[in-house]
Every structure is written in structure tokens, then in C-alpha cells.
Amino acid sequence: MNPNDVLITFPELLIWFPLLSGLAAFFLAKGDSAKRWAVISSLITVAIVAASFFFTDKNYFHFNNVSYVWMPSIGSSFALMYDGMGRMLCLLTALAFPLAFLATYNTNYLKSNNFYGLMLLSQAGLMGVFCAMDALVFYFFWELAIIPIYFLASQWGGEKRIQATFKFFVYTFAASLLLMVGIIYVYLHTPDSSFALSSFLKAKLPPGQEKLVFWLFLAAFAVKMPLFPFHTWQPDTYEQSAAPVTMILSGVMVKMGVFALIRWLIPVFPYATGLFTNVVIGLSVAGMVYASCIAWVQDDLKRLVAYSSIVHVGLMCAAIFARHQSGIEGVMLQMFNHGINIIGLWIVVELIEKHFGTRKISELGGIASSSPVLTVFLVIIALANIALPLTNAFVGEFLMFNGLFQYGIWTTAIALTTIILSAVYTLNMVQKVFYGSTNSLTASGAGMVKGSAVAALTVVVIIILLLGVYPKLLSDLTKDTVNVFMNRLMGL
């Protein structure tokens, strides 16, 4: 097929379809029509991603890349590339939204057309972030992904949602400003005055300036992951946001920062990366230990899951900066697997809170006797969360620790303590919430898992077991991206 015959590429379709679907949702009647529209639209997006896997051969390269003249006066093009890492994260994004919608299908949100419209706009932004090959386009979609979350978190959520959203806004707005300043500064030092990633890779910054701009980019990405000590917005926002918003924030949006480290930070600032490797890895490991200890003493299910997410993301960041091939391969696997596992945990937490009206571990107990189906789902997801062998997280976590081991034995030893702590607080939660004696509150747990929630949890468990047995499905998808990243590091 002649590339000129291609009317639209997969990256464009994955952006424009949820974008137009989201805009259309605002004009639908409030109620179930908007909800059904969101579910159907998100499932079509999954189908588009699935179709893209039939065009991975180099003969169909023109289906996965696009570059239009956008703003020629300043050297910016609407450039998108659908490589292995982008395809994997677009798949995660595509799966996350229908899982979130199905898991909460029985929940009715006020002004549901606005709620689902904003959710789909955020999906379009996420797809753009993972495909962008132009810094200005990357920044545009970065903001498109985040801005709807401000409105979603502030209008639909808990009693303290305004305070939580304000903190989230301050952190992310400051981070976005730093990122914009950094992008403009690098642009001014490109050889051809271009925002293209290829031009950013050729930018020549004096060592002192590179160190400063490195921190502008890192701070922006660290807030989004979040990396200790930029994490304080996260537990409050997760706790107060509506369940689908929390699922997308923790399952997908944190990957924006991890992805950006690999795509934009380390390749563009190799000198500063080498100089500050010890600092970043130190912060990552310190954050892992800190978050594990905080999760251990939590009585709130949402905050426990929120802090456990910080641990996993901290390990990804440390493995990236260790810059060893096995660690990068592990990060590729774990970005997807963590997203699936954490969404599964949020689904279970949402079902418990909705049915019993509480998230307090101390107020629950014995749910297994009244809801054995939910217990089976939770146990499998919890075991995946602590990276038990034959679950999807095991291989990725093993590879990341192996990569970190090449950096330093003692650093790895400290990081490994979080495995023990993770097992302690996760299994303690399972034991206290699901086993033991029932009380007057939890005796009424029968029938709490129905229809669409069962379907969502079933998909999560199937992915956990499938990738636990056959992780090659993901590793083959991202191996070219890993090789390009490592070859560039060795060529610097």
C-alpha cells in the first residue's frame, strides 16, 4: 500500500476517536445514555488498539507514524510515532477506561454526560502523550490529559475533594510551568530551532545549564509519578476522587512520568543524568521504604493502596536510572502490569466502600464468608501486587531488581526490604478485611459483586495469570524500544 493512500494512522485514530467521543458525550442526555456511550466508545478504542497489532510489521510502518506541518514558523510538527513502548501504554490506556467504567457501572454520577465526557477527553490526552515525538505536541497532550482531572476531582468526589484538588492543582500547575520553561530552553539550543525529539537529542547545552534544565524536567515528571518527596498530593487526591478517576490516575497517569523519563529526560540530558543518578536513585529507594512503612500502619484501604503504588513507581524510577538493560526491560513490563494490578485493587476497594459504607480496615472482617467470589478475585490481585511467582508482576520486578543490583548491592538490599514490607501490609489487609469473624456490618456482604464488576475483575485476573505465565507477549512488544534506548546510552 502506498503511504499516500493512508487517510489516518493508528496514533491519530487513538487520539481523535476518544476526543470526539468525549466532546459528543457533553451533548447527550444525563443518565444512562452517557454511561453507555462511554462504555461503548472505550470498547471501540480497545478494538482499535487490538487492530493495530496486525500492522506491526515494517511493511506497514506508515500506519504507525505521522508528521504534519503544524506551526512551521517555530519548528513544530504534529509528529506521532507508535513504537513498542507507545503501543504498550496505549493498550494499557485503552483497557483501563472500560475497566473503570464497567466496575462502577451501577454508580450514578450527577451530570453524568459531563463526567464521562471529561473522562474520555483525558483518555485522548493520554494517548497523545504516549505517541508524541514533538515536545510542543507532547506538552499539549500532557495538559489535555491533566486538565479534565481537575474538574473530575473537584466536582465528583469526597467531602474534602476541594482541598485535595487544590493541592493537586498547585503541584501539577507548578510542574507544568517548569516543564514548559525547560522545553523552551532546550528548543532555543537545538541546531535547527525545532521542537522535534530528534532535534532535542542534538541540543547542545553547557554542562551548568544542562544540570539546571534537567531538574526542571525531572521535577515535572516526578510530580506526576509521583517520586518522593513530590508525592504528598497523591494520597489525598486518590482518597477524595471518584473511583474511576482514581483508577485512571494511579493505573495510567503515573506512567506518564515514568514514560517521560525514558523518552524525554535521560536521552536529552545524558550528562546531567550521570551526574545526578545517585541522588535520584537515593530518593526513589528512600521513597519506597517510607511509603511501605506508611502503608503498613494505614487503617484506610484507599490510602494503603495509594502508598503501595508509590513503592512500585519508586522501583521503576530507580531501575531506569540504574540504566541496565534488564532493569529497563523490567520497567517496560511493570508499567503495564502495575496499571492492571492497581486498577484491580481499586475495583475491590470501591465495591467494599459502596456496599458497606466504610474503607476502615478496623471496621471490616470476615467478608470471605459472605462474598467468596470477591475474595478469590482479591487474593489473586493481592498476590500479584506483591509479585508472587506466576503472577504478572514477578518477572518485571525481578528484572528491575537485577538492573538495580548492577548499580549497587547495598542500594538493592535496602530496596529489597520493601518486598517484605509489601507482603506484610498486603497480606495483613487481606486477613483483617476478608478473613476472621464477620461483624454486624460485614454479615451482609452477599451479592456485592455483580454483572459488570465481575466482568472487569475477570479481565484483570486473566491478564494477571496470562502475563504471569507468558510475559514474552509484552517483552517482545517493547524490545525494540529497549534496544534503541540502550544503544543511545552506549553511544553517548
**Spatial contact of 359 and 353, defined as CB atoms under 8 Å apart:** yes
Report in angstroms the alpha-carbon separations of 402 from 15, 91, 322, 392. Answer: 36, 26, 10, 17
Cα 388 → chain centroid = 21
pLDDT of residue 2: 41
The answer to whether the Cα torsion of 287, 289, 292, 298 is positive or negative is negative
pLDDT of residue 347: 92
**Spatial contact of 103 and 457, defined as CB atoms under 8 Å apart:** yes
For each of the chain's 492 residues, which pLDDT tens digit applies? 344 445 567 788 889 999 999 999 988 876 678 889 999 999 999 999 998 887 655 555 555 677 787 888 888 888 888 888 989 999 999 999 999 999 988 888 888 889 999 999 999 999 999 999 999 999 999 999 989 988 898 888 777 888 888 888 888 888 889 999 999 999 998 888 888 888 898 888 888 888 999 999 999 999 888 888 887 888 888 888 888 999 998 899 989 999 999 998 999 898 888 889 999 999 999 999 999 999 898 888 888 988 888 899 999 999 999 989 889 999 999 999 999 999 999 999 888 888 888 888 888 878 888 888 888 999 999 999 888 899 998 999 999 999 999 888 998 999 999 989 989 988 888 888 888 777 777 776 566 777 888 999 999 999 999 999 999 888 888 888 888 888 887 755
Amino acid at the residue 486? M
Grid cell digits, residue 103:
466496575
The answer to whether the Cα torsion of 409, 397, 330, 171 is positive or negative is negative
Residue in 304, 431, 302 with CA at minimum distance from that of residue 378: 431
The DSSP 8-state label assigned to residue 1 in this structure reads -
pLDDT of residue 1: 37
pLDDT of residue 479: 87
Label residue 487 exposed, middle or buried (CB < 10 Å: 0-12, 13-18, 19+): exposed
pLDDT of residue 60: 53
Cell numbers 525545532 correspond to 194
pLDDT of residue 399: 93
**Gap between the Cα atoms of 420 and 415, Å rounded:** 10
Residue 345, phi-psi category: left (phi > 0), alpha (psi -120 to 50), beta (remainder): alpha
